[in-house]
Amino acid sequence: MAPAPSLRTSPGGRALGVLGAVVLLVALAALIFNVFRGGEEVAESSTTTSSVTTIPVAAVELFPASVDASSFLNGHDPEHLIDGDSDTDWNDDSSRGVDAWLRFSFSRPVRITEIELQNLLDDDRFKKNYKIQGYLITTDDLTIEISGRLSNTNDPQRVPIASIGTTELTIAIKSTYPAEPAGDRPPFNELALQSVRFFGSDG
């Protein structure tokens, strides 16, 4: 019996075979890469912790329902501190600020972030009256006492507060800047303050 004829391949056939082998290797390499890549992503995602971003609430002006004081000079009631009128102010009753205090009440709980205290705007009266120097601020929702000193200026001064649900806030005056004569006019015996403003958010 004659032997079977040997297969003869043409150059084109060999090239096609090599090309097929290359495609197969590339596909296999891509499969292995994707398998390992997917495992890394799963591992990364399993160890990633989520975080919550808190958007700060914009501060707005808060308005007390009422204000009381240790004393006041006739015509210079404590309500003038919150009436928004630059022509009115509060004076104590010739006490030079000794044991003076102011208590502000809100109709509902508020979160106070800042208080703005404004000394007398009129330069002569500012100089001739006693001014707040040391203060102690307390609120009815926290046991923390906030103490500090104001500058002897009639520029508005802000004091940071961190209350969470205040319905009553008290400013106790611990020391004062003395009154001074203005020209040939003697100083007054009153502690004076133009206004007090509050900033934060409701509830």
- pLDDT for position 182: 87
Q: Verify that 21 and 69 share a domain, yes or no.
A: no
Q: Is the dihedral of CA 11, 14, 16, 18 positive or negative?
A: negative
- The residue range of the domain holding 34 is 17-45
**In this predicted model, what pLDDT tens digit does every residue of 67-118 receive, in sequence order?**
999 999 999 999 999 999 999 999 999 999 999 999 999 999 999 999 999 9
Question: What is the value of pTM for the model shown?
Answer: 0.72
**In this predicted model, what pLDDT tens digit does every residue of 152-174 receive, in sequence order?**
999 999 999 999 999 999 999 99
pLDDT exceeds 50 at position 175: yes
- The tokens for 88 are 């009115």
Torsion region of 94: left, alpha or beta (phi above 0 gives left; psi -120 to 50 gives alpha): left
Q: How far is CA 126 from CA 28, 129, 132, 194, in A?
A: 87, 6, 11, 9
- pLDDT for position 18: 55
Q: Verify that 24 and 90 share a domain, yes or no.
A: no
Which CATH number does the domain housing residue 128 bear?
2.60.120.260
pLDDT exceeds 80 at position 21: no
Q: Verify that 38 and 130 share a domain, yes or no.
A: no
Q: Verify that 27 and 68 share a domain, yes or no.
A: no
Q: Verify that 36 and 67 share a domain, yes or no.
A: no
Query: What total of structural domains would you count in the chain?
Result: 2
